[in-house]
Amino acid sequence: MMNFLQKRLGHSPVLSRVVPFTVFVGLTFCQGKFGEPSRYWVYVIKTVVGTWFLWNLWPLVTEMRWRISWEAVVIGVVVWGIWIGLDPFYPKTSQLNENVLCPLLKHLGLSNWCSEPAAPQPLWNPNVAFGAGSGLAWFFVVVRIAGSALVVPPLEEVFYRSFGYRYLIKYDFQKVPLNQFDGIAFTMVPVVFGLIHPQWLAGIICGVAYQWLVLRKNRLGDAMTAHAITNFLLGVYVVWKGGEAWNFL
């Protein structure tokens, strides 16, 4: 299977960086679509699938190598602090859609483009779904933190900071050095990265910080490390708060 995947994706630098991320996002949309337990079991599945992609494509994506530096540690911790501290002070993506985007579309006579507000989804909280402190609840918490700290960073950093950023500069993106600054790419990629998160503003700041790391170090690994530290600390914070902050996972 390893050789099959490498043969299928190895001939295309684009596919080897886009397919794993796309499959991972596709599985994310499946969470909760097959009953409430699927919110948790599909996360386990996508973590396993993401790990399988990383293991198989490691030889093909040469920039996907962990690196540790003091800048990566500082950025990871600072972004975590911003993510937590900024949260009460700005509307989230769903609130913007309901209170800003939809009224604007209606004012422009484009009401058909504005969907009815979706029913609020329950927070990802295995303590509610499986019983507080139960073995199954702890299993899903551990998998969630491990997945967000070890699987998500390399997949997302390769897609956004390595492929997306450089592809906006030049079609043959592998000829673009990781430390080449481009104003359009530096603006667009963090914005897109931020808007896929409910906490869009923190996400944009996060994207800028990680991209700065890549430009400063001329390598991807420091951003992967910073991303991992941020996500791990968010997971620890959620557990520490005892169920009050599950929106961060």
Q: Output the average pLDDT for the chain.
A: 89
Question: Crossing angle for the helix pair 221-241 and 70-85, nearest 10 degrees?
Answer: 40
Model confidence over 156-180: pLDDT tens digits? 999 999 999 999 999 999 999 999 9
Tokens of 37: 């337990």
For residue 246, pLDDT over 80 is answered with no
Kindly tell me the burial class for residue 62, based on how many C-beta atoms sit within 10 Å of its own C-beta (0-12, 13-18, 19 or more): exposed
pLDDT (mean) for 1-15: 76
pLDDT band at 51 (very low <50, low <70, confident <90, very high): very high
Model confidence over 76-121: pLDDT tens digits? 999 999 999 999 998 887 776 666 667 766 666 766 666 655 555 6
CA separation for the pair 114, 60 (Å, rounded): 42
Q: Put residue 242 in one of left, alpha, beta given phi > 0 → left and psi -120 to 50 → alpha.
A: left
Q: Are 249 and 126 in contact (CB under 8 A)?
A: no
Question: Crossing angle for the helix pair 2-9 and 38-57, nearest 10 degrees?
Answer: 80
Tokens of 16: 């080897």
Q: Which helix (H) or strand (E) holds 41?
A: helix 38-57
pTM: 0.90
* ∠ Cα 204 43 66 (to 5°): 55
Provide, rounded to the nearest whole percent, the portion of the chain with pLDDT above 90: 66
Residue-level pLDDT at 245: 73
pLDDT band at 125 (very low <50, low <70, confident <90, very high): confident
Q: What are phi and psi of 14, to 5 degrees?
A: -70, -50
The mean-pLDDT minimum among 107-116, 146-155, 215-224 falls in 107-116
Residue-level pLDDT at 6: 76
Cβ neighbors of 104 (< 8 A, separation 6 or more) are none
pLDDT (mean) for 220-244: 92
pLDDT band at 7 (very low <50, low <70, confident <90, very high): confident
Domain segments of the chain: what residues? 65-248
Q: Which helix (H) or strand (E) holds 157?
A: helix 152-157
pLDDT band at 122 (very low <50, low <70, confident <90, very high): low
